[in-house]
Structure 1
Amino acid sequence: MSKSVSKPYTWYYRPLGWLLRGLAHLPLTVLYGLADFIYFLLAYVVRYRQQVVLTNLRNSFPEKSEVEIQRVQRLFYRNFAQVIVETLKLAAMSEAELKRRVTFSNPEVLERHFAQGRTVLGLSSHAGNWEWVLTSGALWLSAHVDGVYKPLMNPFFESFMRQLRTGTGAGLIPMRDTLRDLIQRRGETRVVSLLSDQAAGPEDRPYWTTFMNQEAGFYTSAERLASRFNCPVVYVGIHRLHRGRYEIVLADLYDGDSPLPTDSFPITESFVRHLEADIRSFPADYLWSHRRWKHKRVRS
């Protein structure tokens, strides 16, 4: 797998590392008390990206009243705070507990591709607890799991998050190395996970479509990679059942063999529709603080 060497970080980050790992050893029930405090700070003190969250919600759900929008906003902050402590818990969570808390409802969608020795592209999003998907997938699935990610600029947090994300055996591929990694490991049986709901800018030649009642640009890397490497593509839906419990629901987007058109993007469009359906079913679970719709289409 592609590996990036973690840069050394300044010594004064070490106490922070000890503190975070110490907190991770607390039971989740205690950490959820901390999450309630984080929720209060985010929602009522810092008001973290409040206008971004409200604008995104109002534009995405024009049919909802302002009272409903405010309720979804509060639930979003609460869920986001829980994701923060759940991610921290990865530093000390047993594999058995993680597997109890994240279940794959239909792993056979991936397993039948693995049985054919295929590399599968898994398209997921910033919904539910996206940080638990990669780590739990390494426990549930019979093939290796790699996640494409954007390295953090801060050396301490880059090192800390790499340890959390790879603790169960999953691998990480820096975004810039994705093509090289697929070339070097062509034909390997595994799933390569991509968070595919980032905001693609005009310079990325995005695919523009209507997403949650707004025009949005999506990266088209799934189409290009699937076509070049004959990879099946699977949608990875992340559903919060209740606090600390998630269900992963998979759906085939592309079989890896059928010819793909050169003038349209059916894989990306199908991903968008699946994601939109999940957001409408679980509106408070999406990362509404993300500036998903910040780019505007440049029309000639």
Structure 2
Amino acid sequence: MAAPAFQAALLHPRHWATWLGVASVWLLSWLPVPLQAALGAGLGRAIGHLLRSRRDVVRTNLRIAFPQADAPQIERLTGQHFADLGRGVFETALAWFAPDWRLRHRGEVTGIENLRAAMADGSGVLLLTGHFTTLELGARFLCLAGVRFHAMYRPYNNAVMDFLMHRWREGRSGLPALPRDDLRRLVRALRDGRPIWYAPDQALDRRMSVYAPFFGVPVRTITATARLSQMGRAKVVPYFPERHGSRYRVRILPALEDFPLGDEIADATRINHVVEQGIALAPTQYFWVHKRYKGLPPDMAAVYGRREA
């Protein structure tokens, strides 16, 4: 799927606010990286105190994921998470706009031999990860390491952002972005032996999900991972980005063995466990502001105060 062509209509005054916002992010990306880190962390902590309802969501998620932590520990983790969220805003700006020379020395990719081994027989690969605050920058470091992959693409209602996001994803990853709901194209790419970036840790469609444990609590989990792997005759290779101070590491793990099994619940449980392993590498850098536990079985009490779909 080719990136959309630039059209003069994108310069219409109704889009000026979007262009101004993009220009502001571009300017922020040129600040010294240590200053970006400090500003981002401070901004994130401030927002965490202002958005009390969202802070409660983070606390609830952390209590479920780390039941051994006491109240002060949960509060520290919550504060650090919002600091990581704030830093993630600036890291996204770097991922989108920073030239290669500015990033190359700041990160490393380990385990790339695992990806090469998985693709050695011509198999396609689902590059499986989770929604981390370092997600965009982690993908950029994969590109810097020479990994070419299809990014899944969701159309935006904002025409300018639709144009730019498609261009950014395709320009950095080296292969065309693929619509996430176009099963035929996804399967074809996998059968052609290509990698596809994939994050299955947010269940968006109840019709394609089952209840599987995530940190011990059964939660709605999409089944598409096993389906894509089977239909595309593809392997699943997990990778996880993590920040260490002002440096970054992307770990590529070996391909999952004996996957899929053909049991939807067992396969979904396996994927959730893999994501849990990635979270353990950088616990506060996971996207805990997402209401991951809103999709609980009907016989379980809601954890966010009221039951949500």
Is the partner of 1:158 in helix, strand or coil? helix
Aligned to 1:131: 136
Paired letter, 1:182:
L
Distance 1:278 1:121, change over 3 A: closer
Q: Does 1:194 align with 2:198?
A: yes
Q: CA deviation at 1:200?
A: 4.2
In the TM superposition, structure 1's runs of 4+ consecutive aligned residues that sit over 4 Å from their partners are 1-9
Alignment of 1:297 onto 2:284: no
What is residue 15 of structure 2 aligned with on the other side? 11
Structure with the higher fraction of residues in strand conformation: 1
Alignment of 1:216 onto 2:219: yes
Tell me, yes or no, if the aligned pair for 2:106 and 2:246 is still in contact at 8 Å: no
Q: Does 1:262 align with 2:267?
A: no
Summarize the Cα distance change of 1:141–1:126 in structure 2 as closer, same or farther, 3 Å threshold: same
Question: Counterpart of 1:198 in 2: which secondary structure?
Answer: coil
Q: Any unmatched runs of 5+ in structure 2?
A: 300-309
- Per the TM alignment, residue 248 of structure 1 is displaced from its structure 2 partner at its CA by 2.1
Q: Match for 2:37: what amino acid? A: Y
2:274 aligned partner = 274
CA distance in 2 between partners of 1:41 and 1:286 (Å): 19
What one-letter code is carried by the residue in structure 1 that aligns with 2:274? Answer: H
- Residue of structure 1 aligned with 2:108, choices 82, 96, 103: 103
Q: Following TM superposition, by how much is the alpha carbon of 1:58 offset from its aligned partner in structure 2, in angstroms?
A: 1.7
Which residue type is aligned with residue 251 of structure 2? I
What TM-score comes out, normalization by structure 1 length? 0.86
| Other-structure match for 2:154 | 150
Q: What residue is the counterpart of 1:85 in the other structure?
A: 90
What's the secondary structure of 2:292's corresponding residue?
coil
Residue from 242, 248, 251 that aligns with 1:248: 251
SS at match of 1:116: coil
Shift of 1:267: 4.3
Does the C-alpha gap of structure 1 residues 298 and 3 become closer, same or farther in structure 2, counting only changes over 3 Å? farther
8 Å contact kept, 1:226–1:232: yes
| Counterpart pick for 1:38 among 38, 43, 48 | 43
Count how many residue pairs are aligned between Structure 1 and Structure 2: 293
**Deviation of residue 283 (structure 1)?**
1.9
Of all paired residues, the percent bearing the same amino acid is 22
Q: Which moved more, 1:90-99 or 1:115-124?
A: 90-99
- In the aligned structure 2, how far is the partner of 1:265 from the partner of 1:28? 43
Range with bigger deviation, 191-200 or 74-83: 191-200
- The 3 A distance-change label for structure 1 pair 4 and 213 is farther
Q: Secondary structure at the match of 1:176?
A: coil
Contact 2:41 2:82 in 1 (8 A): no
CA RMSD across the alignment:
2.6
Distance 2:281 2:139 in 1: 22
Partner SS, residue 253 of structure 1: coil
Distance 1:97 1:266 in 2: 43
- Alpha carbons of structure 1 residues 283 and 118: separation in structure 2 relative to 1, 3 Å: same
Match of 1:231 among 200, 217, 234: 234
TM-score (norm 2): 0.83
Flag the 1:239–1:91 CA change in 2: closer, same or farther, 3 A. closer
Structure with higher helix content: 2
Alignment CA distance shift 1:241-1:220 (3 Å): same
C-alpha displacement of 1:2: 5.8
Distance 1:199 1:264 in 2: 14
**Do the aligned partners of 1:150 and 1:174 also contact (CA within 8 Å) in 2?**
yes
User: 1:129 touches 1:238 (CA, 8 Å); kept in 2?
Assistant: yes
Q: Which of the residues 66, 71, 89 maps onto 1:66?
A: 71
Aligned to 1:165: 169
Q: 1:116 aligns with which of 117, 121, 140?
A: 121
Residues in 2 aligned to 1:38 and 1:166: alpha-carbon distance in whole angstroms: 30
Contact 1:128 1:285 in 2 (8 A): yes
8 Å CA contact 2:3–2:166 kept in 1: the answer is: no
| CA separation of 1:109 and 1:247: change in aligned 2, threshold 3 A | same
Deviations 1:241-293 (A, max 9, x none): 223423323231147xx7x5433455433222122133234321111100111
1:22/1:127 CA distance change after superposition, 3 Å: closer
Letter of the aligned partner of 1:236 in structure 2? Answer: Y
Q: Distance in 1 between matches of 2:15 and 2:4?
A: 21
1:23 to 17, 25, 28: 28
